[in-house]
Amino acid sequence: MVLHLNVAAKRKADDTAGGHPASGPKKAKAASQLQQPAPPLRRVIIPPIEHGTSQRKFTYHGAGLLKHAVPFSRSISSSFPPLTPVLTKVGKVAKRQPVPTKQSSNWWKAQCAFRGLLQTGKISDMQERLRPAQDADMTDELRALETQLDVDFRLKNAEAHETAWGGLDSDQQKAEHDSERFLQERYFGEATASVAVVVSHGRISHRAMKETAEKLGLVCECYEPGGDGPGKDIAVGSTRASRQRRGHQAKACTAYRGRVDARGAWDVFGIWIIDCPCAQQEWGDGGRDGCQLTIAFEPVKTGFRMWASFDFVVFKGVFRFGKPGDSAVSKVRPSSGNSRWDFRWRGSETGEGQLRIAFEHQRGRVVFDKSDGTKLTGVFEGGLVGRTDFTGRKVSTSADSGNAVDDLKAEWAACSEEAHEHANVDRWH
């Protein structure tokens, strides 16, 4: 905190000394003050959006604020030249000296700008300003601007997708543009399909289409059209069992929401976008929407149990929720008086698909925001990440049938069965 105040004071003093009043991006509204919620970030199809003048221009392209096309870097110590040489144990200058990471002038200017420092002078001048402030975070003003631009960018990108979608005429075009939306509208929209839809392999990945179809509880097959030919067609359809399950789940959801409204509890059921910096920075591409949580529930006579499917970049699997110290089905629902929910998780690594079987260490918790239950904070423990914090925001009031509790329970049971097989193998080797 002292460092941040010193940086702010230095910025003000430098601006005053130069005869120019302190200026910067206008203070942005916080995301909670914006009337329109930000949709999830889909595939980016629009150019970066800009803010400010040519002297203080920042841009945003879906993955953090940019200055001179450079993002904020939290760790910059490796880019500084050493102040003193590294010595050997006997006090002599070591032959091998650390080589700093070479950065451009624009990179140094960007790091100064993000920390509220002047961007003038040579690289050595900027390094001198940054060295005592290298651990400082982005200024509050720019964090607020980043939040505002993130919302603006998501809305514009979503509008561009809607415009593009409206210009697509054929099933083939829609499947190539957004296979999940195509199947959602075809099988879960107002006019649902009763027969299979067929599209050409073309630019569509059969594997991606199959994963999307299975996520939605559909059946996907790839076959040779007419029995021969170089290309392949992809057929997607709905089985009778999956249709019945979707109908049962829809009725359960309606009944659940009625009970929620009557008792003043929160409707946390649906899709949540998760911000998990540790996993996203270490194993992801740095994007904001690499992690997702979809919460479902299991209605029973004695109460209900929450479940969730999760994808945290490096791990994916199932959460099974319960109140602290309680693994039984409960009548208690998430509300301002019951905001904390512990969970156990089972799943696998996304890279090699290796199951994690240290179940006693695979746990965590989420705490829903006490205002309206549309935001959460959480802790995820176990596996490669050890212990990591995450935050989330709700983006959808309904979940697709692919996240039905039956599927989540089956996946949970499959993990248990596979772990049991591992234990038997280890016992005999």
Residue 218 included in any domain: yes
Is the alpha carbon torsion for 240, 242, 245, 251 positive or negative? Answer: negative
Q: What is the mean pLDDT of residues 208-232?
A: 68
Q: What is the mean pLDDT of residues 184-194?
A: 69
Domain boundary among 127, 145, 167: 167
The per-residue pLDDT for 252 is 55
Residues 378 and 411 in one domain: yes
Confidence of residue 178 (pLDDT cuts 50, 70, 90): confident
Choose from 158-162, 271-275, 277-281, 370-374 the range with maximum mean pLDDT: 158-162
Residues 177 and 53 in one domain: no
Residue 243 included in any domain: yes
Pick the more confident residue, 276 or 110: 110
Residues 118 and 240 in one domain: no
Measured at the CA of 399, the angle between CA 397 and CA 405, to 5 degrees, comes to 130
Q: What is the mean pLDDT of residues 34-60?
A: 78
Residue 94 included in any domain: no
Which letter, b or e, does each residue of 260-272 get, where b requires 16 or more Cβ atoms within 10 Å of its Cβ? beeeebbbbbbbb
Residues 361 and 302 in one domain: yes
Residue 416 included in any domain: yes
Our count of domains for the chain comes to 3
Residues 282 and 409 in one domain: yes
Would the pLDDT of 91 be above 90? no
Q: What is the mean pLDDT of residues 266-289?
A: 67
Residues 277 and 421 in one domain: yes
The per-residue pLDDT for 359 is 65
Structural Rg of the chain based on CA atoms: 26
Would the pLDDT of 111 be above 80? yes
Would the pLDDT of 17 be above 50? no
Residue 391 included in any domain: yes
Would the pLDDT of 391 be above 50? yes
User: Which residue's structure tokens are 């994690």?
Assistant: 356
The per-residue pLDDT for 110 is 93
Other beta carbons within 10 Å of 24: 16
* Residue 52 region by backbone torsions, left for phi larger than 0, else alpha for psi between -120 and 50, else beta: left
Would the pLDDT of 116 be above 80? yes
Pick the more confident residue, 327 or 97: 97
Residues 276 and 421 in one domain: yes
Residues 112 and 59 in one domain: yes
Q: Residue 221: give the domain boundaries.
A: 171-250
Residues 283 and 340 in one domain: yes
Would the pLDDT of 13 be above 60? no
Would the pLDDT of 157 be above 70? yes
Convert the pLDDT of each residue in 339-385 to its tens digit.
889 998 888 776 555 555 566 678 899 998 877 788 899 998 876 55
Residue 93 included in any domain: no
The per-residue pLDDT for 397 is 60
The per-residue pLDDT for 129 is 92
Confidence of residue 59 (pLDDT cuts 50, 70, 90): very high
Report the distance separating Cα 232 and Cα 226, nearest Å: 10
Convert the pLDDT of each residue in 233-265 to its tens digit.
777 777 654 555 555 555 555 555 555 554 557
Pick the more confident residue, 29 or 162: 162
Convert the pLDDT of each residue in 392-414 to its tens digit.
888 766 544 444 677 788 888 87
The per-residue pLDDT for 190 is 60
Domain boundary among 115, 137, 167: 167
Domain boundary among 150, 167, 184: 167
Residues 405 and 279 in one domain: yes
Residues 113 and 189 in one domain: no
The per-residue pLDDT for 366 is 92
Residues 153 and 245 in one domain: no
The per-residue pLDDT for 126 is 93
The per-residue pLDDT for 121 is 92
The per-residue pLDDT for 104 is 92
The per-residue pLDDT for 302 is 58
User: What does DSSP assign to residue 299?
Assistant: E
Q: How far is CA 76 from the centre of its chain?
A: 25
Q: Are 196 and 235 in contact (CB under 8 A)?
A: yes
